[in-house]
Amino acid sequence: MTMPVVLVASDVKPIDGYQWHASPSTYLSALIERADVMPLVLPSFGPAIDLDAVLARVDGVVCTGSRSNVHPELYGGVADERSEPYDRARDATTLPLIRRAIALGVPLLCICRGMQELNVALGGSLGSEIQDEAGNMDHRAPVSEDQAVRFSIRHGVDVAPGGCLGRVVGSGQILVNSLHRQAVARLAEGLVVEAVAPDGVIEAVSVRGAKAFTLGVQWHPEFWAKTDTPSGRIFEAFADAARERADARG
């Protein structure tokens, strides 16, 4: 059996006088240790990347979470200091990457910012600072220097029966670790809601009629992928789809 190779989206960050294209280690270790696939970080060079050539050589795509947000201009919004930072180089790479992965039937897992990118890539919009809206929970991370506290599993989501996520984790309620202040506002026409939080915030989506496994989750299964059953199952399902593609590619 061929080991799958999956692309991982990168953030662009100024560090030590350089522009670094990087991904947090939690995603990479979850892919290596839980999913048993080989991650490759894709630099965010936008249109300079031949996406079809790259996607023909890999077996999956992961769009990670990030501190940065999708730029509002991409969904008809207006930039606001409260929604910073932005990462235009990542936007220019991930949005077309998502569209091509879906079109070519490449398995796709989108986490947190990645799920928001998926919605925007397909024509949806986002809402910012959702904790300020009447009736909404505070989905932001607890203030702590301890990552295990920040990424603690804190609230339930109701999983739609029979959908992509439901087939992976079962229908009903699961507990998740949401850490976000933006969320889906207008759902893209091609997306299906897979899970919602108690306040109605959309927490998971899939792509209607997708050729391969395609799932977006607003929480962070990568952090507890080795110890939390639903988190691990999400990575297993993505890995199974990637292995199927790897075997077909030979």
Catalytic residue among 117, 194, 203, 222: 222
**SS3 at position 150:** helix
124: its two tokens? 């949806």
- Known active-site residue 220: yes
Q: Residues near 130 by Cβ (< 8 Å), separated by ≥ 6? A: 136, 139, 180, 181, 182, 183, 201
Phi, psi of 176 (to 5 degrees): -135, 170
Rounded-to-integer distance, Cα 234 and Cα 79, Å: 33
Are the C-beta atoms of residues 110 and 5 closer than 8 Å to each other? no
- Known active-site residue 155: no
Catalytic residue among 21, 112, 117, 180: 112
**SS3 at position 217:** strand
Can you list the positions of beta strands (E) in the chain? 5-8, 11-15, 18-22, 38-41, 60-63, 108-111, 126-128, 155-159, 172-176, 182-184, 191-196, 202-207, 214-217
Q: What's the N-to-C CA distance of the chain in angstroms? A: 9
- Residues annotated as catalytic are 112, 220, 222
